[in-house]
Amino acid sequence: MPKGPVKRRKRPPRATPASVAPVWAALSAHYPKADCALHHRNPFELLVATILSAQCTDARVNLVTPELFARWPTAFALAKAGPAELEGVIRSTGFFRNKTKSLLGMSRRLTEAYGGEVPRGMDDLLTLPGVARKTANVVRGVSWGLADGVVVDTHVARLAQRLGWTGESTPEKIERDLMALLPREDWVRLSHVLIHHGRALCQARTPRCAACPVREACPSALC
């Protein structure tokens, strides 16, 4: 039994726009070329790649999409794909049966309602099978620079928590906190920068805190 009271680590002060601004500026400057890691040439390809990225790494998706886009380059072509053939192409991304159903449904909806073009509107995007808010935010933000919110994937969630920018655990609540801390014009770039930082330095198991440009301001830094 310990002889004295257990010392608790002090909680960092609640994050505010003013406290987050210099940390965000340093991270943004450290990754000046941070951008979407999914390879694509147009909004349709980005939409397909984003649907495939669920529970799958971007690197794996980028290995699969060249063949997919070569076979079915448009919504009209993909809408006519045979389910078994499509499943064979995307199998390695995981959950391939559900993803096949989403891709076929999404493509058919695009051809029937939008002339084969990906709509810009959030409400329109959310009518597409396989498209929820996160996917719609990716497509709107990357394709047209339109920001309705912050894309929260596992990297963004982990870093937001480690930096003390949120105490929440669900993507929806983390997104809400991040939107309150940074101006709208930074929302799209924020996710790209945090994802790059999470891959390069702030990994889940062994964060490289000694090389982190914001370690002095991070309440979770190990050194």
Distances from the Cα of 162 to the Cα of 50, 125, 210, 214, angstroms: 26, 32, 15, 11
Contacts of 137 (CB under 8 A, 6+ apart): 147, 148, 149, 150, 151
What's 111's domain CATH number?
A: 1.10.340.30
- 67 and 156 fall within a common domain: no
d(CA 189, CA 210): 24
- 48 and 111 fall within a common domain: yes
d(CA 195, CA 53): 14
Cite the active site residues: 134, 153
Name the average pLDDT for the chain.
94
- 47 and 118 fall within a common domain: yes
Domain boundary pick from 144, 170, 189: 144
- 156 and 179 fall within a common domain: yes
User: Would you say residue 7 lies in a domain?
Assistant: no
Range of the domain at 88: 43-144
Q: What is the pTM of this model?
A: 0.89
- 53 and 122 fall within a common domain: yes
- 139 and 79 fall within a common domain: yes
pLDDT at 11: 56
Q: Which of 43, 16, 15, 17 is nearest to 184 (CA)?
A: 17
- 55 and 83 fall within a common domain: yes
Tell me the pLDDT tens digit for each residue of 18-46.
Answer: 999 999 999 999 999 999 999 999 999 99
User: Is residue 85 very low, low, confident or very high in pLDDT (cuts 50, 70, 90)?
Assistant: very high
Structural domains of the chain, count:
2
User: Would you say residue 84 lies in a domain?
Assistant: yes
Tell me the pLDDT tens digit for each residue of 153-195.
Answer: 999 999 999 999 999 999 999 999 999 999 999 999 999 999 9
- 51 and 137 fall within a common domain: yes
